[in-house]
């Protein structure tokens, strides 16, 4: 009587690994651009939320934060403020690439009272990959 073979041979395992690697090589390049587009959408939504918090700040404080005060004032009350009741954001988000969002008052884009933007994946300000809520894809 012949003994039954149990398990896989090394060659069988190598063939399976090669097939999986080939499939991953075909699929991953197609998913990577989608990932970048998704990060840009996340950044635009974060910026829209920050802009909403800035507008609420203006309603309560009768002014927008200065550039020097920055976005941190949405979390921590200004000194000697009587109009402050609670933070306007739970926390300051980082953009999907790990950089802080930028804020400027007065704004320079579209005659806005302020600008909020992400420096994008390259981490450099003023380049073509910067993201704003008004940024076109």
Task: Give domain status of residue 42, yes or no.
Answer: yes
Provide the domain limits for residue 87. 37-132
Task: Give domain status of residue 59, yes or no.
Answer: yes
- Kindly report the number of other CB atoms within 10 A of residue 38's CB atom: 12
How many residues belong to the chain?
137
Give me 1's structure tokens: 């009587």
pLDDT at 62: 87
Tally of domains within the chain: 1
What would the mean pLDDT of 11-39 be, rounded to a whole number?
A: 81
Q: Alpha-carbon distance 127 to 137, whole Å?
A: 15
Question: How does 95-130 read in b/e, with b if 16+ C-beta sit within 10 Å?
Answer: bbbebebbbebebeeeebebbbbbbbbeeeeeeeeb
Q: What is the pLDDT of residues 95-124, one digit of tens each?
A: 988 999 999 998 887 778 899 999 888 878
H or E stretch covering 101: none
CATH code for the domain of 110: 3.30.700.10
Task: Give domain status of residue 68, yes or no.
Answer: yes
Task: Give domain status of residue 1, yes or no.
Answer: no
Task: Give bridge partners of residue 14 from the DSSP assignment.
Answer: none
Cβ 120 vs Cβ 96: under 8 Å: no
Task: Give domain status of residue 3, yes or no.
Answer: no
Q: What is the pLDDT of residues 3-23, one digit of tens each?
A: 666 777 888 888 889 888 888
Task: Give domain status of residue 122, yes or no.
Answer: yes
What would the mean pLDDT of 49-66 be, rounded to a whole number?
A: 90
Task: Give domain status of residue 8, yes or no.
Answer: no
Task: Give domain status of residue 124, yes or no.
Answer: yes
Looking at every residue in the chain, the average pLDDT score rounds to 83
pLDDT at 5: 65
């Amino acid at each position: 009587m012949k003994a039954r073979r149990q398990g896989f041979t090394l060659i069988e395992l190598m063939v399976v690994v090669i097939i999986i690697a080939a499939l991953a090589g075909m699929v991953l390049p197609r998913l990577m651009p989608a990932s970048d587009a998704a990060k840009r959408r996340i950044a635009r939504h974060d910026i829209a939320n920050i802009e909403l918090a800035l507008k609420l700040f203006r309603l309560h404080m009768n002014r927008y934060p200065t550039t020097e005060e920055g976005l941190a004032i949405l979390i921590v009350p200004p000194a000697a403020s009587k109009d402050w009741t609670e933070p306007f954001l739970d926390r300051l988000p980082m953009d999907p690439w790990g950089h802080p969002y930028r804020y400027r008052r007065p704004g320079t884009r579209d005659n806005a009272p302020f600008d909020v933007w992400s420096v994008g994946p390259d981490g450099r300000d003023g380049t073509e990959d910067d993201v704003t809520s008004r940024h076109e894809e």
